[in-house]
């Protein structure tokens, strides 16, 4: 169930004690929104069809050994206008990874303090297959399902967990005005190399300047980033 604007504000004010300043995103014309959705459906469908062999290979790899388990991982994220949804990924971690992480209080504290990530070398949750998927960003491909469902777009700010909203301060409402993306300006600017609060500036820059041409540039730079594995974590 989606949160209303007043509920989003109340939740944020309760957590931070700060008021939300209303901003308005630019370039949300009807032609841009319709064109973006049409492109999402086209690219998402084609992408899924082309990815089917990879889906099959990864499914087979997770049938055996210590990595045996579900092929997909899902996690609740906060989407456009505060609507929660489940984001899909190829599972790159052991089963019940979140539960295991939170059970280790010291490691979970470090995870929070380190902008919601751990070094791959010290993260016991990541499987051997998962390391490869993350390094090549292939673990993100199932989010094409989210794109087709309309929960995400090909390009947009990355969807966050509820705990991360506090990082956006007075700009929380502006951040939630945009549909989350499979890729985005943050990814092509460095991804894991850009941490909060700099990440906030990068994500909001995209929201304030989004356009067809900007989206196409981000897609082109995403391809280059995946090839070079820049910023992959």
Q: What is the pLDDT of residue 93?
A: 84
Q: What is the pLDDT of residue 26?
A: 52
The values of phi and psi at residue 74, to 5°, are -130, 145
Query: Phi-psi bin for 152: left (phi > 0), alpha (psi -120 to 50), beta?
Result: beta
Whole-number Å distance between alpha carbons of 218 and 183? 8
Domain boundaries, the chain: 5-92+127-228
> Considering only CA atoms, which of 107, 69, 101, 72 is closest in space to residue 87?
72
Whole-number Å distance between alpha carbons of 27 and 74? 31
User: For each of the chain's 233 residues, which pLDDT tens digit applies?
Assistant: 544 444 444 444 444 444 344 444 555 789 999 999 999 999 999 999 999 999 999 889 888 776 788 889 899 999 999 999 999 999 888 877 778 788 888 888 888 888 777 877 778 788 888 888 888 888 999 999 999 999 999 999 999 999 999 999 999 999 999 999 999 999 898 877 888 899 999 999 999 999 999 999 999 999 888 887 665 54
> Maximum Cα–Cα distance for the chain, whole Å?
52
Q: What is the pLDDT of residue 153?
A: 97
| Cβ atoms 212, 190 nearer than 8 A | no
Q: Hunting for tokens 């370039």 — which residue is that?
A: 27
Residues listed for the chain: 233
Q: What is the pLDDT of residue 14?
A: 47
Whole-number Å distance between alpha carbons of 196 and 116? 10
């Amino acid at each position: 169930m989606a949160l209303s604007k007043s509920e989003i504000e109340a939740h944020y004010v309760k957590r931070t004690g700060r008021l939300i300043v209303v901003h308005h995103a630019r370039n949300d014309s009807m032609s841009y929104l319709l064109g973006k959705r049409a492109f999402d459906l086209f690219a998402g469908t084609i992408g899924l069809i082309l990815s089917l062999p990879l889906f099959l290979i990864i499914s087979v790899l997770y049938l055996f050994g210590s990595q045996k388990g579900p092929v997909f991982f899902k996690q609740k994220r906060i989407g456009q206008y505060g609507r929660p949804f489940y984001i899909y990924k190829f599972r790159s971690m052991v089963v019940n990874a979140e539960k295991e992480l939170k059970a280790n209080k010291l490691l979970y504290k470090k995870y929070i303090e380190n902008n919601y990530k751990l070094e791959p070398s010290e993260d016991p949750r990541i499987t051997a297959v998962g390391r490869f998927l993350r390094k090549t960003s292939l673990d993100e491909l199932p989010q094409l399902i989210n794109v087709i469902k309309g929960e995400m777009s090909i390009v947009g700010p990355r969807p966050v967990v509820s705990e991360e909203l506090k990082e956006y301060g007075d700009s929380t409402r502006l951040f939630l005005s945009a549909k989350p993306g499979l890729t985005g300006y943050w990814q092509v600017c460095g991804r894991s190399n850009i941490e909060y609060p700099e990440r906030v500036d990068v994500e909001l820059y995209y929201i304030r300047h989004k356009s067809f041409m900007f989206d196409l540039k981000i897609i082109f730079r995403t391809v280059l980033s995946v090839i070079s594995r820049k910023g992959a974590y």
